[in-house]
Structure 1
Amino acid sequence: MNVNGINHVAVTVRDLQVSGPWYRALFGTEPVLDEHTDAGFHHLVWAFGDGTLFGIHQHDRRAGETDFSELEPGLDHVGFGCADRAELEQWVGRLDELGVSHGGIVDAAYGSGLSFRDPDGVALEFFAPPSR
């Protein structure tokens, strides 16, 4: 048996009325799924070209008021793949256009990243492999 990559990531949000439009604007596309489930949550799900799914969930039971913290056990951040550093530079422009604060592109031996946060403070990143 083998693990064949990541199939999907789901992030809990406080309010889909806030986070839904934010992610729609970020990705520049509509989700492929928008449903309220029998399991007690409403979710929006986007599909990326490599088959990976990314969803945001609002549970019927209200979320707490504390913002996300990568310093607590659980998720640290979600990294979205980019082809190269030039694509990261395009994302800088897109985040600026949307008024989303970010840390600028940070280069390291293992690649380049552009970090930012969603409306609930969830840490997100666009990441490109190192130049060859």
Structure 2
Amino acid sequence: MPPALHGIHHLKFPVAELSRSLRFYEASLGARRIESWDHRHADGSVYAFILEVPGLGTHLELRLDPDAAGRQAGFDPVTLAVADRASLSLWTEHLDRAGIAHSPILVALQAWLVVFADPDGRRLRLYTLETHGPELPADEGSPWITGR
């Protein structure tokens, strides 16, 4: 057996523009920048922001790396849990108020799902803990799921 792990220390997303991404994560997820944790080069320039995101359970680092950010466009590296389908409705209302494009509530393999993209095209998924049975066919053809 390997030694014990103690959860996830933090998530890291490459971004093309720190300020633009910060505004997006503030508006979409209610993130808050922890300025005292900014990562700086020796010349004082900032290359990463650390964010506190309510309910995430860990910190989110936005790391300036335009090339890596471009390669992640269309990819969905993290799926966030929400309680149920009613919660997804509240999220779609919130995203609408924030002016953030998103999918409709989709039927996923086991539950319901809403997808939206950050400024670099990385897709974030909100997935319900509430499940459904096999009688509901998944929205496999949705461009929000296929990426096409």
Q: Name the TM-score class by shorter chain.
A: 0.7 to 0.9
2:96 & 2:131 partners in 1: Cα distance? 24
Q: Secondary structure at the match of 2:33?
A: coil
Aligned pairs (5 A) from 1:21-32: 21-32=23-34
1:82 shift after superposition: 1.0
Unaligned runs of 5+ in 2: 133-148
Q: Secondary structure at the match of 1:103?
A: coil
Match of 1:68 among 62, 72, 75: 72
Q: CA RMSD in A?
A: 2.7
Unaligned runs of 5+ in 1: none
1:93 & 1:46 partners in 2: Cα distance? 22
| TM-score, scaled to structure 1 | 0.75
User: Aligned residues, how many?
Assistant: 125
Deviations for 1:56-76, whole angstroms, at most 9, x for unmatched residues?
Answer: 1114xxx23846334xxxx64
Give 2:15's aligned residue. 13
CA contact (8 A) 1:67 1:120 kept: no
Q: Secondary structure at the match of 2:16?
A: coil
Identity percentage of aligned residues: 27
Instruction: Check 1:6–1:105 CA distance in 2 against 1; reply closer, same or farther (3 A cut).
Output: farther
User: Which of the pair has more CA radius of gyration?
Assistant: 2
CA contact (8 A) 1:11 1:55 kept: yes
Give 2:38's aligned residue. 35
Decide which moves more: 120-129 or 23-32: 23-32
Q: More strand by proportion, 1 or 2?
A: 1
Aligned partner of 1:11: which letter? F
Aligned pairs (5 A) from 1:36-55: 36-38=39-41, 41-49=47-55, 51-55=57-61
